[in-house]
Amino acid sequence: MKKINFKKWAFRFIVWILIINIITFYLTINYVDFPGVENNTGLNLFYLGILSGILMILSVIFVIMSSVKKEKRNYQYWISIIGIVIFGIIPLVSILI
């Protein structure tokens, strides 16, 4: 079995979270909820939020595993840490305040 590069996967998950947040932003701006209009935008936003949450948990786990395995820290590791702070910790703190 090959060695898993945890920081690389954490970086990929953070990039996907960024893409999901851009899509969510676009869908939120174009969301129309008039009585006669049928759309599934609300349901799509819900599923994208769940997917983003799962990817965030996986990226945190993979960054922790990268630190435990003492992998070399490069831009992928640091961007993953910054992404976790921006997309995970700041929204969590803003909900609690």
The half-sphere exposure of 86 on its side-chain side, counting CA atoms within 13 A, is: 11
Q: How confident is the model at residue 96 (pLDDT cuts 50, 70, 90)?
A: confident
Task: Please write the tens of the pLDDT for every residue from 31-81.
Answer: 777 777 777 888 888 999 999 999 999 999 999 999 898 888 899 889 999
Residue 40 has which token pair? 């599934």
Q: pLDDT tens across 7-42, in order?
A: 899 999 999 999 999 999 998 888 777 777 777 888
Contacts of 83 (CB under 8 A, 6+ apart): 14, 17, 18, 59
Arithmetic mean of pLDDT, 75-91: 89
Residues composing the chain: 97
Q: Which residue ranges make up each domain of the chain?
A: 6-96
